Structure 1
Amino acid sequence: MIPGPQNSITDISGLKVGNAQDDTLKSGVTVLTGDAPFTASVSVLGGAPGTRETDLLAPDKSVAAVDALVLSGGSAYGLDACSGVVEGLRAIGRGYRVGEAIIPLVPGAIIFDLLSGGDKDWVSSPYPALGRAAYEAATTSTPIGTVGAGTGAMTAMMKGGLGTASLVLDSGITVAALVAANPMGSVTTPGEKHFWAAPYEIEGEFGGLGPDPNTGLGRSLASRKLTAMLERANTTIAIVATDAALDKAQCQRVAIAAHDGIARACVPAHSPGDGDLVFSVATGTKKMSAASELGVIGHAAALCLTRAIARGVHAAVPAPNDLLPTWGCLNAKT
């Protein structure tokens, strides 16, 4: 397995990512869409999720494909970003047709960033407009760090961010991840230098410092975030994708496997105060060589998600009124 040309979810042909953010608000929206509707499912393992239309992604539900997926800041308010995406899709005649009606199908999930230091004293929710702007900005490139849904994200000890990563399997199938990393847990070992994800890093993509040489790790739960905010102000939300031809049940299995990627990169993960969720997408342009390849795709999805989390945090940049420092600021050479 090797990373795709961009090391991004847009290495999967036909997929596009759009971002919009308000730096004064310290929040934003990220949208994944495609040239055509795609098969999708979801797995939720966190104890405090915030979602829209995820029930229709269950394998036993009749919806076969969706038009876009949304990752948003804003907690419950951020779910309205999906409405903005629905408006954008409807404007171009995209969606599920029932007679003369057009119904764009846009599931979404949110992180809590309402206490991120931004100005949240709005009169009308900004999220529908941010959702529409993110959809209309969708391209085949994917910036990372303090952008889109990662704008107000924070980890236990430093700013979080939006991350992505990809792998091309030996069979030619591509697997990738896109994530807004805002966990209760830490993404680095004590000292805030080495990433938990370090054993899975490829070609120095998040600093190249390697694993922490210390042992007995994982017992300290120090958190600047908990001091500055609240226990339930968390969540890592992600999308893993492949160009393999998968049905909804197979997509769900990949989403479940991909949660290993969160657990490898965030310590602890899947807590009662996290809303950890993984969407899984299949564009269906390549056939698996054997049924057993589904396990390889799930494994690759977990690897991509681990790396994407670390990449997003590593790329975060400082901004006025930040509550937490960035990895770069904490590890600046003096």
Structure 2
Amino acid sequence: MSSSPFKFSCDNKRYYTLNYYNRRNYCKKIYKAVIDLDLTCPNIDGSKGRGGCIFCDGGSGYFTHGELDIASQLKCEADRIAAKHGKNAEFIAYFQANTNTYAPVEFLRSSYYTALQFPNVFGISIGTRADCLSDEVISLLAELNSQTHLTVELGMQSSKEQTISLINRCCTHEEFKSGYYALKKAGIRTCLHIINGLPYESYEDMLETAHEASILNPDAVKLQMLHVIQNTKLAEMYSQNQFRLLEREEYIDVIVKQLELLAPETVVERITGDGDKRKLIAPLWSADKIAVLGGIDKKLAELNTWQGRLYSNKSKPPVKRVV
């Protein structure tokens, strides 16, 4: 058993934070400016399905400015960031809402390069689906990757096919892996998004998803709790008591064990989520982000454990619960 490589990081964390990654590699803090391209998804527009994922309320529009053009959106975000962190603060142009490679390649090219040319843009992050990465899109992303700091974020959510079908992702786990490997072959930094507490998933299911991520060995992951948002299919299921959500301590236990399973060099870009408090139905404890983060730190310290302690890139049975 080795000691934690992050115990004396700039964040004093037992996991590899995005802030530590940025300061270690670029010697500065980097912020995010969110952009909405007003795109859709193949499980919304009917090409694969209707309604979108059961937890989706149409993207991240509550803190974006999708009614504006890209430059105007970035101006709004740049002003917001400058007000808090100074006019010289640099930021990532984050294409977040819905599927940001699901459009004609020339439209995507124009959108990405418009953002890249904006003052103080340090790099670009693109949220998308693994089944929306055609050869032409991969070629464009590889071109972009040669000119800036690029991250592509893929919604993994779960490795369990039954769950993937239930949430109406309309993209199998094998399709997900195919898209992921195409990005890695092109040398593109990739971040996987995992949701804990999805309906009917067991503790072991959630750990198996983290172990699957450890085998894939992405550059980064985002971990978060499932949010029940108003006017979604998930909200309807929740109102009918079709499933139960994790309590805060249960979520913390899952996160700690998932961190143990992940590779130590995988950057943890998010370890809890920010739901729109105006629309959040449950779990209400997730709105207290400081308490959740503090609980994770405390549990890691109590167990004297850290990210990567149980890491293995080989297939193995699910890890049993140890609290």
Normalised to the residue count of structure 1, the TM-score between the two structures is 0.26
Considering fraction of residues, name the structure with more helix.
Answer: 2
Considering fraction of residues, name the structure with more strand.
Answer: 1
Normalised to the residue count of structure 2, the TM-score between the two structures is 0.27
